[in-house]
Amino acid sequence: EVQLLESGGGLVQPGGSLRLSCAASGFTLSNYAMYWVRQSPGKGLEWVSGISGSDGSTYNADSVKGRFTISRDNSKNTLYLQMNSLRAEDTAVYYCAKGVKMRYFYGMDDWGQGTTVTVSS
Amino acid sequence: QTVVTQEPSLTVSPGGTVTLTCASSTGTVTSSYYPSWFQQKPGQAPRALLYSTTNKHSWTPARFSGSLLGGKAALTLSGVQPEDEAEYYCLLYNAGGLVFGGGTKLTVL
């Protein structure tokens, strides 16, 4: 059974940093694309970052480019999202999601329950 | 920046059929946009329904189907059940990025 467990969310001041983790079980992380998707309070879904399962290529939404970095540790079967220079508009529930396939453009199948990030002074 | 547009809200009667659509500001949606569809109920994480236009996940009920319709991606629910009341999001791949639509709130009434 696929399980995705996010952690690392919390309250951070504007300009601060946070690292989210997503511990995966039930499958081998490196065999699939992986994603971070966020949802601001009362709003829709927004794709944030993705990493290909084949060659580890990474992709970021324009809204987080240069500030957020997605990575994975295959030995720990864990996905990360390093978030720097955080802004109030980054406040959201952050979901980790598993790709349908290794290639990044196929989108997601399994989702975690999310971790909440609040950026406020 | 690609904008993906969905109907903000739709209402359907139990047992009825409804089609949700997903349009791209870049033009006609084709299979190369790899359309996906997701369902989200209040307080829950999204749940994947379809990928690559028509492909269902193992848990997707048979009443959900996907297609390309009039230059858009489409999600059709046939024989709607009360538990289908939810927010539905489409996802498109374009120019190296992924973009979600704004969501359609489906009411079953």
SS3 readout for B95-107: CCEEEECCCEEEE
The pLDDT of residue B85 is above 80:
yes
- Mean pLDDT over the full length of chain A: 96
Predicted confidence band at A54 (pLDDT cuts at 50, 70, 90)?
Answer: confident
Predicted confidence band at B95 (pLDDT cuts at 50, 70, 90)?
Answer: confident
The pLDDT assigned to A65 comes to 96
Predicted confidence band at B67 (pLDDT cuts at 50, 70, 90)?
Answer: very high
The pLDDT of residue A100 is above 90:
yes
For the segment A2-24, the average pLDDT, to the nearest whole number, is 98
Residue of B nearest to A108 (CA): B48
Give percent of chain B with pLDDT exceeding 90. 96
The pLDDT of residue B60 is above 80:
yes
**Tally of CB atoms within 10 A around A57:** 12
Give me the residue from A59, A62, A111 closest to B46, CB to CB.
Answer: A111
What does the block give as tokens for A40? 């601001």
Element (H, E) at B74: strand B72-78
Give me the residue from B36, B45, B51 closest to A95, CB to CB.
Answer: B45
DSSP E strands, chain A: 3-7, 10-12, 18-25, 34-39, 45-51, 58-60, 68-73, 78-83, 92-99, 108-111, 115-119
The pLDDT assigned to A113 comes to 97
Which position has the token pair 């990025």?
B97
Using CA atoms of B94, B40, A113, A66 in order, give the dihedral in degrees to the nearest 10: 30
B69 Cα to chain A: minimum distance (Å): 20
Predicted confidence band at A58 (pLDDT cuts at 50, 70, 90)?
Answer: very high
* Cβ–Cβ below 8 Å for B45 and A100: no
* Cβ–Cβ below 8 Å for A107 and B51: yes
A93 Cα to chain B: minimum distance (Å): 10
* Cβ–Cβ below 8 Å for B98 and A35: yes
**Residue A15 · residue A64 · CB < 8 Å:** no
Question: CA-to-CA distance for A85 and A17, rounded, in angstroms?
Answer: 6
Question: CA-to-CA distance for A10 and A4, rounded, in angstroms?
Answer: 18
The pLDDT of residue A104 is above 90:
no
Question: CA-to-CA distance for B24 and B4, rounded, in angstroms?
Answer: 5
For chain B, the residues whose C-beta falls within 8 A of a C-beta of chain A are 1, 34, 36, 38, 40, 45-48, 51-52, 57, 87, 89, 91, 93, 96-103
A76's CB contacts (< 8 A; 6+ apart) are: A23
Nearest to A60 by CA among A73, A46, A72, A74: A46
For the segment A80-108, the average pLDDT, to the nearest whole number, is 95
For the segment A33-46, the average pLDDT, to the nearest whole number, is 97
* Cβ–Cβ below 8 Å for B98 and A107: yes
